Chain A
Amino acid sequence: MIHSLFLISNAGDLFLEKHWKSVISRSVCDYFFEAREKAVEPDNVPPVIRTPHHYLINIYREKIFFVSVIQTEVPPLFVIEFLHRVAETFQDYFGECSETTIKDNVVIVYELLEEMLDNGFPLATESNILKELIRPPTILRSMVNTITGSSNVGETLPTGQLSTIPWRRAGVKYTSNEAYFDVVEEIDAILDKSGTAVFAEIQGVIDACVKLSGMPDLTLSFMNPRLLDDVSFHPCVRYKRWESERVISFIPPDGNFQLMSYHISAQNLVAIPVYVKQNISFFETGSSGRLDITVGPKQTMGKTLECLVVTVHMPKVVLSANLSATQGTYNYDPVTKILVWDIGKLNPQKLPNLKGSLSLQSGAPKPEENPSLNIDLKIQQLAISGLKVNRLDVYGEKYKPFKGVKYVTKAGKFQVRT
């Protein structure tokens, strides 16, 4: 099981350690630093590193490496999932998960880690339960605590801890009862030079914010559940009812949580809302090149494309870019070699265009690799897969809650090859 955890900043500063069994010297991290060195980019550090006596399983999130040490055969996915959960908990507690916030809240962090794992076995990882055990810091609470001398550690056993619905605490009370659902879809796609999709799929999630009193039992149904053949549910969802009736029936956790995620595979036809016409070329001589990119709407179902951003990873030899954009602003960072063109809202009548010349390091040969483009975009009020929520019913409680569903489509890993 998980033996120890080290938090290491991007700069290589080991700023927190926690051991759940015997203490392991931090020198074990030297193997990590070695791998980190070799990988050049922090993203490329291998997730599992073998050392003579231990295994280091690490994740890289928010510019922090979470490095765990294990000594016996443990499912690596288990460890990785847990580490992500730790990062999410920090985010949840402190608003962001960064070196500064962790250092600022080091005692709470330590208490949290102790509550989350016992002897390497996960103990309490549900945010609802943790918040009952250890209250998140707020300015108001720390003032109250200082005045009254009370603590931010719960004195009683969390109610949800042992019930068959460990994700919800008992005795929740709200004056206004609300349940909101966000259907968020991300399109992952690779388009080839000519603009046809080599591969496209949709990753969807339904995020929920449920603030309902008591023990409500909810049923969410869809207009077109047949779209969903590959789903992952929050533990609260009753799988049997999904199997038989294609409705989502659950007693929700209190507050924010991800109800389900789904995946609409490459085999279904995925609508591509945008097209890109591009021409990036480098001349054989003269150390220069040309760039010409136009973006236009494709299958947008009548909605507007917003927050459109085009990112180009240029070859190393590109020194600067002298371009003009008909809409939005562009910025070329000569250090990271990334060109970002922030377009904003897409106007179908007047398509945005970015055009101009690139100057290369003099004397350098023509770059061999083709740069590739990344697209970011957002479409409000649309789930590109066509998924629609039909209704939400509340059982077990008498009140009438406010209900709402929002749809949004974004570009995920949306890549255009040149």
Chain B
Amino acid sequence: MTDSKYFTTTKKGEIFELKAELNSDKKEKKKEAVKKVIASMTVGKDVSALFPDVVNCMQTDNLELKKLVYLYLMNYAKSQPDMAIMAVNTFVKDCEDPNPLIRALAVRTMGCIRVDKITEYLCEPLRKCLKDEDPYVRKTAAVCVAKLHDINAQLVEDQGFLDTLKDLISDSNPMVVANAVAALSEIAESHPNSNLLDLNPQTINKLLTALNECTEWGQIFILDCLANYMPCDDRESQSICERVTPRLSHANSAVVLSAVKVLMKFMEMLPKDLDYYGTLLKKLAPPLVTLLSAEAELQYVALRNINLIVQKRPEILKHEMKVFFVKYNDPIYVKLEKLDIMIRLASQANIAQVLAELKEYATEVDVDFVRKAVRAIGRCAIKVEQSAERCVSTLLDLIQTKVNYVVQEAIVVIKDIFRKYPNKYESVIATLCENLDSLDEPEARAAMIWIVGEYAERIDNADELLESFLEGFHDESAQVQLQLLTAIVKLFLKKPTETQELVQQVLSLATQDSDNPDLRDRGYIYWRLLSTDPVAAKEVVLAEKPLISEETDLIEPTLLEELICHIGTLASVYHKPPSAFVEGSRGVQHKRLPARAVITLVKRTGLSGSNMGAGLGVAPAAMPASLGGAPAVGGGLGDLFDLGGGVGMPTGSYVAPKTVWLLAIKAKGLEISGTFARRGGIIQMDLSLTNKAMSVMTDFAVQFNRNSFGLAPAGPMQVLTPLSPNQTIDVSLPLSMSGPVMKMEPLNNLQVAVKNNIDVFYFSCQYPLSLLFVEDGRFYRQVFLATWKDIPNDSEAQFQIKDIHLNSDVASNKLQGSNIFTIAKRTVEGQDMLYQSIKLTNGIWVLAEMRIQTGNPNYTCTVPRIVYASLLHSQ
């Protein structure tokens, strides 16, 4: 007997029949009828007309019948809200049932009925169930809070359910903990700024304990939640890693990937020279490889994530190239991803293997895949210099196959190879020219034309070749037209005598007969250049081009960091930050990797030695002194010394005098002057607002643009009374560092908008970098020297600070007031050497050496910069 019988209908009409059966006296008949109703519902038939009849069956002691009625209710209650009220009584009664299964079922179903009137009745039973003696009921109730929040968020907050939910994180049953975490995480997603999941070492410990005992799904919730935690030091970070590592051997791939996320994130904090760091790196490879033997869909998500991991930490998978070899029956989406990772892992050591594979792929059936394989060969040539020659010969072999799309792809990548290794492989041009006629895709045509133009002097019949393209000029795409124009001008500059006519022709085609403004403009520019100053034209058109970079499609480092924090999520599949596409998550908080305690050098950073010097507000010796001292740059080391009379007392952080930021004439009478201060770890912006207009000003508000360190007002600006004409008030605005980050030029630039009842005004000011020096900026003494030595010379800046009449102890004390810590001091040949450290709010460490010659008022300061991670954190 199968359920297909529930789909048979009779002539009288299905609904009519069912109604009769539902009202039957026989229990068995009733149940069969409800089953028929459910069966119709599953295939999308509308059986809502039977609502009262089905609800009548609800009061029963038969659990199956009850469950079936509940299923029906969940589906149709929304469309029949008034009728649904009829069910409330039974629900409330069931929540008191001695059988925990029934209590849980009732509270679970009630939460699924998305009718406002019903949710009111839900609160009391839910409150009881959250404290039920049976953990099965508690864990069901925890999820119910999330459901209720989705229907009526305000109600959940007012009733205090969120606090109860938070308490459940400490529940004795691991499943309850997992569900509470899941519910809180879901609620937190619609409340980005609320502090729902307040993680501290105690709660983390509870979560880690529950992690070992709950179901696989619960483990995913807990791991994802753990990933949001910022451990306070490397030891805590290591102990979390140790407890998470066993999850890498879980059979559920989602558990594995969430564990990888936690490890990748917390690893950032571990010192690289630690043995454990190496062990952990080794442990990460096998589980990632195992993910690739799972079902294709899982492989795809895994590959997208591996793509990120390989970019962040190539060392993890560098020996595992072979697992990314493509099998011909892989789905196309897996093939393309594998190919991408192969190129990222390509190195001198394995390039021969990779090339052999790529050549194999280039003969496959799937056109998209073949094209990508050919492109990959070109990328290998550009990435691994030693292999370039082999790559070019492979590409030539492929051109010989005469397969149209292979030839075209090959020509496009050969162009890139020429850009990377100019004047090296021109011998192949002849072969390329043979295939000129078969090119029908704009990209390939443009590439070929570029090659002909670039090497016009070595191609005897370059003019003929280009002329042949010119015949159908108007039918070409814009890309080809532009390229053709440039190529012919290049040719003319190289061989002026024979090609005068040709260049005339293309210039007039481009300027007179074309509708494309880009083409016309470029044509005019060339024309004018050629007619006024051929020498200049030569310099412009034939200028040496910058070499193309190794890897063009790397994910930008700040985005990569954010994505690493989102491993395993949709963001990691799309390689976009969640804010870019997750709906309804207003103001998603950007996640970032934690700071490493001992810092490694990252070469690619926006901070160069010299602008760090300038950022510190200290003029490098070569720069005019005025710049360093200019108040606009803000107080730095130089200013720090200027303050006070040299009494050896720490005086707290230096505060520069206020300067005028916004002139009254520019702001309809509002003048603003101000400065920045760091007081007890809190950054403040001190403002004086002066009303120089004739009328009263009210309704002040302030906002910052995105800036390098994420400064943002911590609260609204408190201007309580209206500002009358000629009145000045002083306001102190506390700042937080949680705002959005964007690199500014100069680094410490801050753009501010101030609003009042009259208008909105904009100004920019610069804060002293010393504002960002945090109180725990004392570097590890033991590793200071080693770290210092590791810093390459070219990331050092050296400058002198002049006319300071302090001895080293006083100076050291004074600097400490501004959170510049002296780690060590030694005296060599009458010079005091101070070794100092500074830590910025975003985790960057700066180490400095200061030399003070006794009696010499000029200090020499060497500041190498060491940066643990990319400074910037853009959108």
Which residues of A pack against B, CB within 8 Å? 1, 14-23, 26, 39, 41, 43-44, 46-48, 50, 53, 55, 58-60, 71-78, 80-82, 84, 103-111, 114, 118-119, 121-122, 125-126, 139, 142, 146, 149, 151-157, 161-162, 164, 166, 188, 190, 192, 198-199, 201, 203, 229-235, 239-240, 242-243, 258, 260-261, 263, 265-267, 313, 315, 368-370, 372, 374, 413, 415, 417
Contacts and interface: CB of A to CB of B under 8 A. Distances in A.
A50 B183 CA distance: 25
Contact of A229 (B28, B175, B286): B286
A121 B179 contact: yes
Contact of B217 (A78, A188, A313): A78
B573 A76 contact: yes
Contact of B328 (A44, A199, A234, A372): A372
Nearest to A313: B328
Interface stretch (B139-147, B512-520, B596-604, B748-756): B139-147
A155 B570 contact: no
B789 interface: no
A157 to B, nearest CB: 5
Given A77-B253, A121-B182, A266 B293 contact: no
Contacts of A126: 215
Contacts of B290: 230, 232, 261, 263
Interface of B: 1-4, 6-7, 27-28, 31, 35, 38-39, 42-44, 62-65, 67-68, 71, 75, 78, 99-101, 108, 111-112, 114, 134-136, 140, 143-144, 146-147, 150, 173-175, 179, 182-183, 186, 189, 213, 215-217, 220, 224, 246, 249-254, 256-258, 286-287, 289-290, 293, 295-298, 300-302, 319-320, 322-323, 325, 327-329, 331-333, 356-357, 360, 363-365, 401, 403, 568-571, 573-574, 578, 581-585
A156 B99 contact: yes
A80 B570 contact: no
3 nearest CB pairs, A to B: A230-B286, A104-B2, A151-B64
Contacts of B301: 47-48, 76-77, 80
A370 B302 contact: no
Contacts, number: 260
Central interface residue in B68, B297, B298, by most chain A CB within 10 Å:
B297
A73 B249 contact: no
9 contacts: A1-B182, A23-B75, A72-B189, A72-B582, A77-B302, A80-B301, A201-B293, A234-B251, A368-B401
Contact of A48 (B174, B183, B253, B570): B570
B325 A190 contact: yes
A18 B42 CA distance: 7
A29 to B, nearest CB: 11
Contact of B249 (A18, A41, A81, A239): A239
Given A114-B71, A157-B100, A232-B251, A75 B286 contact: no
Contacts of B7: 103
A351 B325 CA distance: 31
A151 B320 CA distance: 54
Nearest to B567: A75
A153 B67 contact: yes
A216 to B, nearest CB: 20
Nearest to A374: B329
B42 A106 contact: yes
A75 B224 contact: yes
Contact of A265 (B42, B252, B295, B323): B323
A229 B286 CA distance: 8
B257 A75 contact: yes
B298 A80 contact: yes
A361 B258 CA distance: 52
A77 B101 contact: no
Nearest to B186: A1
Given A22-B78, A119-B111, A230 B289 contact: yes
A106 B293 contact: no
A23 B583 CA distance: 18
A229 B42 CA distance: 46
Contacts of B43: 15-17, 106
Contacts of A44: 331-333
Nearest to A151: B64
Contact of B289 (A50, A55, A152, A263): A263
Nearest to B286: A230
Interface centre among B65, B217, B403 (most CB of A within 10 A): B217
Contacts of A146: 1, 28
Nearest to B144: A119
B307 to A, nearest CB: 14
B570 A235 contact: no
A265 B298 contact: no
Contacts of A374: 329
B67 A235 contact: no
A153 B63 contact: yes
A417 to B, nearest CB: 6
Nearest to A6: B44
Contacts of A154: 63
A72 B224 CA distance: 15
Contacts of A413: 327, 329
A292 to B, nearest CB: 20
Given A107-B39, A110-B42, A258-B251, A198 B286 contact: no
Contact of A106 (B3, B67, B147): B3
Contact of A164 (B100, B174, B182): B174
A26 B44 contact: yes
A44 B569 CA distance: 22
Contacts of B75: 19, 23
B31 to A, nearest CB: 7
A370 B174 CA distance: 56
A267 B325 contact: no
Nearest to A53: B583
A156 B146 contact: no
Nearest to B248: A232
A190 B327 contact: yes
A162 B174 CA distance: 9
Given A77-B302, A164-B213, A370-B363, A43 B331 contact: yes
Contacts of A198: 322, 325, 356-357
Contacts of A203: 293
Contacts of A41: 331
Contacts of B28: 146, 149
Given A73-B189, A119-B146, A146-B28, 18 more contacts: A59-B295, A75-B224, A77-B568, A118-B140, A119-B147, A122-B215, A122-B217, A146-B1, A149-B28, A151-B64, A157-B136, A162-B135, A162-B175, A188-B327, A232-B287, A233-B251, A261-B290, A263-B286
Contacts of B364: 369
A105 B3 contact: yes
A155 B319 CA distance: 55
A372 to B, nearest CB: 5
* Max chain B Cβ within 10 angstroms of own Cβ: one of A15, A71, A151: A151
Contacts of A153: 63-64, 67
Contact of A201 (B136, B323, B585): B323
A48 B303 CA distance: 13
B6 A107 contact: yes
A338 B868 CA distance: 56
Nearest to A265: B289
A313 B35 CA distance: 47
Contact of B101 (A110, A157, A260, A372): A157
Contact of B319 (A1, A84, A267, A415): A267
B3 A104 contact: yes
Nearest to A235: B216
Contacts of A22: 78, 114
Contacts of B183: 121
Contacts of B215: 122, 125-126, 166, 235
A47 B111 CA distance: 31
Given A119-B143, A239-B249, A372-B328, A48 B583 contact: no
Contact of B252 (A81, A166, A267): A81
A99 B256 CA distance: 32
